[in-house]
Amino acid sequence: MKYHIEKQGDEIVISFRELGGQAQAVIDAIDRCRQRTGACPSGECTKIGVMETCGESGELAVRLKARPESDLSVASVGECLKYQLPKEIAT
């Protein structure tokens, strides 16, 4: 699996490629972070308000919007992913 994180306006967009059938596991991991269950050490997950996903055939895009009066950091979201993604798919 490969992914790229970028800021687009008021959103953070994470583009995943080569998921190998693991799209739902990735969505679940990010949603756990957003719901604050097993929150990551960076604390960035507490700022995620809205999460939208779309994708097809081994690719996935996850769009994250911050909660009101918060701002998401690309670097901190990257730290969340390292902590939240299951080890077998975080390579």
pLDDT of residue 80: 83
Read off the pLDDT band of 50 (50, 70, 90). Answer: very high
Sheet holding 2-8, edge to edge: 2-8, 11-17, 59-66, 48-56
Query: What domains lie within the chain, and their CATH numbers?
Result: 2-89 (3.30.70)
Question: Is residue 61 a contact partner of residue 14, using CB atoms and an 8 Å limit?
Answer: yes
pLDDT of residue 28: 86
pLDDT of residue 66: 93
Q: What is the pLDDT of residues 53-64, one digit of tens each?
A: 998 777 899 999
Q: What is the pLDDT of residues 11-48, one digit of tens each?
A: 999 999 988 888 888 888 888 778 765 567 777 888 88
3-class SS at 42?
Answer: coil
Length of the chain measured in residues = 91
